[in-house]
A = this chain, B = another copy of it.
Amino acid sequence: MNNLENITTLSSELNIQTHEVLQLVIEAWQQLQIQQPLVHCITNQVAANYVANILLAAGASPAMIDNPFEAESFVKISKSLSVNLGTPNTEQVAAMKIATAVAQQHQIPWVLDPVGYSTVLPWRTEITDELLQFKPSIIRGNASEISTLAGQQIQSKGVDSTLDSAEVYLQANALLEHTECVAISGESDFILSKTYQCVFKINGGSYLQPKVTATGCALGALIAAYSGVTQSSIACIAAHLHFAIAGKLAFEKAQSVGSFNVAFLDEIYSLTEEKIHQYADFEIIK
């Protein structure tokens, strides 16, 4: 069964054209600079510093509040919430459950990044399944995670993907039952949109990005940042394009991982409307 069949959207949103998407992305990026939205991040210990630096560089205002005693009051004042299952512990999981429930209740957009979702990590898969009931605005992950979350049985290798994004994006339709958008990162990125009833394919980036830890986690948080200033589908596309353009331009400057990562942060910070126009490389798959 194709979940897309049951979805009603405004007819004006269907058949969106590439140039319209591009315009919405540019406006989203401008709003990120103007509004500097407060983004509540509950992320893993590997990614915390990197995520904060990426969000600051991109224009947002990140705050890593991951205790259960402050999760409710803090998510209420945030523009969006990013939840990442990388290295959960008991208190952090309690914070996730509170924050996501409150986010749903107060219609604060939130992103679920089910890091390591697989049969070898049953504790976090149960937690993730529980969080799904609070209807994330966006689910993002690599191909292995999204495929498993969509009900496929695959052999996982830790937190890195063993599948290609192009192989699994159709399976991901099943997840639109829980969310507005599904974003799958890989050599090309695929974004499934309920609003537009189509799939966006994003090209670009560099093969060095997966060699820097926590880039996927930072991308999830950047989607959350954008979803603080625009609707979910455009937030996904904008964040992926921001990463793809920065990755491409950084690789032109530096071809080894240490210096590439420095250049990548520089490029995340140095995005302009002109660069978006010049380098945005995506297509719409009906």
Contact = CB atoms under 8 A, between A and B. Distances in A.
Contact of A49 (B46, B76, B121): B46
A3 interface: no
Number of chain copies forming the complex:
3
Given A158-B61, A263-B258, A70 B124 contact: yes
A219 interface: no
A33 interface: no
B52 A49 contact: no
- Measured as residues with beta carbon below 8 angstroms from the partner, the interface class of chain A is 35 or more
A56 interface: yes
Contacts of A261: 53, 258, 262, 265
Interface in A46-69: 46-50, 52-53, 56-57, 61-67, 69
A103 B75 CA distance: 35
A38 interface: yes
Contacts of A124: 70
A77 interface: yes
Interface string A110-131: 0000001000111110000000
A265 B258 contact: yes
A128 to B, nearest CB: 13
Nearest to A44: B64
Contacts of A214: 49, 52
A57 B258 contact: yes
Contacts of A63: 116, 158-160
A16 interface: no
8 contacts: A44-B64, A45-B48, A64-B86, A65-B121, A67-B88, A256-B267, A258-B265, A261-B265
Shortest beta-carbon contacts, A-B, top 10: A258-B265, A52-B213, A256-B266, A63-B158, A69-B123, A258-B262, A258-B266, A46-B48, A38-B158, A257-B269
Given A56-B257, A63-B160, 4 more contacts: A52-B213, A63-B159, A65-B116, A258-B265
